[in-house]
Structure 1
C-alpha cells in the first residue's frame, strides 16, 4: 500500500449504499483477485479486486467479504476474512494485515481468519433467502481466465444448490458509476500527480530522446508522489501514434515529429487518464497545428456537451458530427462524404475510429450501467483524435471530467493543453537547459 491510509468512512458509506439496495434477508459475498503466475515460480504483483476494495479498502490477497445486513446474529452482518499472519508467512511474504489493522482500514469490526469462513458461510447460507454473488460483467471484458469469484460461484452452487442466486455486479455498477466527494478527491489527487509527471516530461523532451526515457521521467514523478502507472503508458512518436495501443515505447523521438503521451497516475487505487500530443522540438508545424487545433476544438465542445441526462451514444455522435466538419476543413473529407454520414457509417471513422470517452474510477475503464445516461457524480474521459498514417502523425487529446447538475467540471483544466502554452513551456525549458 504505497498511498496514505484512506478514510474508513469511504468504505463504510459504500457498504451502506449497497446494503440499502439488497432485498430483505439477502447476503452478498465478494472475493479478492487471484495472485496470477508469470513463469517458473514468479507471480504478478497483487492487483486488488476493485469491487472488494470499494466496499472494504482491503488490498490483500485471498480476502473475502460477507455482507448479511439482516442476519439474526449481529456479528454476521459484516464479516471480513483474511489470511492469518503466521510467523512463517510473514518471514516469506512480509507484513500481513492484523485484525485490528483491517478494522482500522475498513471500519468492519468482525474480522476473522480464512479458516473460519466455511462454518460462517454455512451458518449464514442456511438463514438467507437470496445470495448475491459477484462476477466481472464489464462489457469489454474478455473473461477468458476464471477468477476467484467465478470459482466461488461454482462451488457455492454445488454446495448449496437449492438457494436463489442473484447478480451483484448490476448493483455495484450502479453504485460505482456515481463518485462520492471522497472518491473525487482521490481521483483529483491522481490527476495532480499526472500533472507533475507531464510537467517533468515537457522539461526533458527534445530531439534524440527515446520514448522509454520519457516513460522513465513519468514513473520517477509518479513514484515520488506515492502514485503508480494507472495503465501501461503509450509514448508514441511520429507514425507510432497511429497505432491506438502502441506500447513498445522504444523508438527515438525525431526532430519535427510529434509524440503522443497517453498516461495517467493511480493513487489509492483511483485512476486518472490523460493524453497530450506535443512537438519533439518544441514547435508545431503549420499542418500539425491545424490538426491539433481541430482536435482541441472537438474536445472542448465535447466537454461542454457532457451534461447530466444525455445518453453516452448521443454524446459520441455529436462529436462525430463536429469531427466531420473539422476533417472537411482540413481537406480530409469532401462535402459529399460528410453528407453521407450515418450513425452506422460515420464519415469520420477513417480518421477518428474510437469512442469519445469512458467512465473512470477504480478501473481505468470503470464500470457503469450500460444503458444509463450521464448523471451527477459520473467521472468520464473525453478523448477525440485524428490519425493520419499517410502524413506520419496523429493527434489525440484527453481530459478527465466530473459531471454535475450544474454542468461538467474539467478535472485537468490546469494541465497545459493549448498549443501556444505547450510551446512556451518547451521553449523556456530549452533556453534554460
Structure 2
C-alpha cells in the first residue's frame, strides 16, 4: 500500500487555498473571478461518462462535483471565496451518490461562504456590481461564459442601477501560468501516478505472450491502475507490429505475433494528476538484432534529452538533443543518407520521427502553459514538469529503410520534473534498458515475480 500520510484531505486543501490567495492577489478588490465546473457529458441514453471536472476548476477548489461555480471576489462582504454547489438531497444521494452541499463546501473545501447553485443567478448582479474587471474562462464552459457575459450586458443597459465590470480578462492564461510550476505537493501526486504507471508497465512486460491480443495487455495495465485506486489518464495505446507505427492507436484489437515489438503508451491518473509512460518491448521476450539496433538509438535519444533538461535551458533544448541522436542513428543504420546537420535542417528525418520530444504534464496529460514567450523559447525552471519521448517509426514499404526495419515502431517516454540542478525522473521504476527489459520479461515467462 502507498503511504498517503502526506496526501490527507486537509493538506490538499491548504494547497488549494494558497492557489486561491495567489489568484486573489492578481484579481484585486477591483476585480472578480468566476469559474464553473464543466457539465456532465452524456455517453448514451441515460448513461453519462464518469465525471471529471475541468482541471482549472479542480486546481483552484479541489471540488469534484458537477454543477458548481467558484467565485474569487477579494473584499466581498460574504468572503473572498464563494462556492455555489448542489444542495444536499437525500433521495438523489440514494441513487447517484453523496453530495457535499454548501455546508460541506465550507467545512471541507475552504469556502468562506457557500450557497445553492440555483441561487447563483440571484447573486450575480451583486458580485459584479462595482467591480472594474471580470476574470472568466473563455471557451472552457461556453454556456456558462455566454450567460454571464449576456447578464453583464443587461446590467450595463440598466444604467445607474448597476455598475458591472467594463473590462473582461481571460482567466485561462493566469491559471495556466500558475499551473506550469508544480508545488512540492503536486510533485508528490505526480510521483504516485508515475509509480503506479511504472508498476503497470512492468506487469505488462511480465504478462505478454505471443498470441495474446492487445486488449488483453491493456487489461493488465488497467487492473494495476484500479488496484491502486486510480483510473487511466488517457486512453491506453497498446500497438504491436505495424500498429506501433500509428502514434495514437487506441483500437487495441489485434493479436500480437511472435517477433513483434509492442509499444505501450499508458499512464494512471491520481487525484487529478497524470502519469505518462511509453515502453516498447518484444512480445516473445527477446529483441531481434534489427529491433535492438533501432531501440538503442531511441534509448540513447531519451537519455540525451533527459541530460539536456536543466534549469535555464530553453525548453526546445530537450527536443534538439534527442533529435540529433536520432538522426545520427538513422544515418549510421542506413535509413537516411547525407550529413546529419543537413538532414535536420531539411527535416528529412520526419518520415521516421514526426512528433516533438516533449510536452508539459500535470493535471492534463498534455498540460497547459506556453512553450514560447513571443518568438523565444521559454527557459526551464524548477517545478516545471514535462515528458521526454523520442521515437522512431518505420512503416512497411519505406523507400529508404532496409527491409529488416519495416513495421517497427519504438518510443521510450519518461516524466521528469525540473530541479535546481537538473531534473528528477519520476518514471525510473520501469526498466528501459534492453537487457533489463529482457531480464524482467524472462521472470514472467518462467513464472517468477519482480
The TM-score, its normalising length taken from structure 1, stands at 0.92
Q: What is the match of residue 269 of structure 2?
A: 266
- Per mean C-alpha deviation after superposition, the further-off stretch among 266-275 and 99-108 is 99-108
Counterpart of 1:382 in structure 2 is 388
Asked if residue 232 in structure 1 is aligned to residue 235 in structure 2, the reply is: yes
Tell me, yes or no, if structure 1 residue 417 matches structure 2 residue 432. yes
1:148 CA drift (Å): 4.3
Deviations 1:297-330 (A, max 9, x none): 0011101111223333343234322221111112
Matched residue, 2:362: 361
Task: Report matched runs for 1:28-427 at 5 Å.
Answer: 28-71=33-76, 73=77, 75-136=78-139, 147-161=142-156, 163=165, 164-336=167-339, 338-342=341-345, 345-371=346-372, 372-390=378-396, 391-427=406-442
Mean Cα deviation higher: 100-109 or 375-384? 100-109
Q: Distance in 1 between matches of 2:314 and 2:243?
A: 33
- Name structure 1 gaps, 5 residues minimum: 138-145
What residue in structure 2 maps to residue 140 of structure 1? none
* 3-state SS, counterpart of residue 416 of structure 1: coil
Q: Contact between 2:318 and 2:358, CA under 8 Å: does it hold in 1?
A: no
Deviation at 1:199, TM superposition (A): 2.2
Give the match's secondary structure for 1:275: strand
Distance 1:157 1:329, change over 3 A: farther
Q: Distance in 1 between matches of 2:142 and 2:199?
A: 36
Larger displacement relative to structure 2 (381-390 or 154-163)? 154-163
**2: CA distance, partners of 1:217 / 1:416:** 17
Secondary structure of the residue aligned to 1:38 is: strand
Q: Which moved more, 1:251-260 or 1:14-23?
A: 14-23
Please identify runs of 4+ aligned residues in structure 1 that moved more than 6 A: none
Q: How far is the alpha carbon of 1:25 from its aligned partner?
A: 1.6
Is this contact kept in 1: 2:195–2:429, CA < 8 A?
no
SS in 1 for 2:42: coil
What are the superposed Cα offsets for residues 155-190 of structure 1, whole Å, 9 maximum, x if unpaired? Answer: 344434562111111111110000000000000000
Long gaps (5+) in structure 2: 157-163, 373-377, 397-405
95-104 or 270-279: bigger deviation: 95-104
Q: Would the aligned equivalents of 2:79 and 2:112 in 1 still touch at CA under 8 Å? A: no
Decide whether aligned partners of structure 1 residues 337 and 376 sit closer, same or farther in structure 2, where only a CA change above 3 A counts. closer
Distance change in 2, residues 1:317/1:111 (3 Å): same
Query: Against the structure 1 CA distance between its residues 432 and 43, is the aligned structure 2 distance closer, same or farther, given a 3 Å change threshold?
Result: closer
Contact 2:179 2:369 in 1 (8 A): yes
Instruction: Indicate if the aligned counterparts of 1:308 and 1:405 stay in contact, CA closer than 8 A.
Output: yes
Structure 2 distance, partners of 1:291, 1:102, is: 54
Kept in 2, the 8 Å contact 1:5–1:105? The answer is no
Q: Match of 1:311, SS? A: coil
Say which SS state the counterpart of residue 364 (structure 2) adopts.
coil
- Following superposition, the deviation at residue 203 of structure 1 comes to 1.9
Contact 2:414–2:425 (CA under 8 A) maintained in structure 1:
yes
Mark the CA change 1:176 to 1:156 in structure 2 (over 3 Å): closer, same or farther.
Answer: farther
Distance 1:108 1:80 in 2: 6
In the alignment, the residues of structure 1 paired with residue 257 and residue 84 of structure 2 have an alpha-carbon distance, to the nearest angstrom, of: 54
Query: How far 1:95 sits from its partner (Å)?
Result: 1.2
State the Cα distance separating 1:338 from its structure 2 match: 4.8
Aligned residues: 419
Q: Give the whole-Å Cα distance in 2 for the aligned partners of 1:89 and 1:129.
A: 40
Q: Report which stretch shifted further, 87-96 or 422-431.
A: 87-96
**Structure 1 partner of 2:160:** none
- Separation in 2 of the partners of 1:174 and 1:150? 21
Cα RMSD of the aligned pairs, angstroms, is: 1.9
TM-fit CA distance, 1:99? 3.0
CA contact (8 A) 2:274 2:363 kept: yes
CA distance in 1, matches of 2:107, 2:212: 46
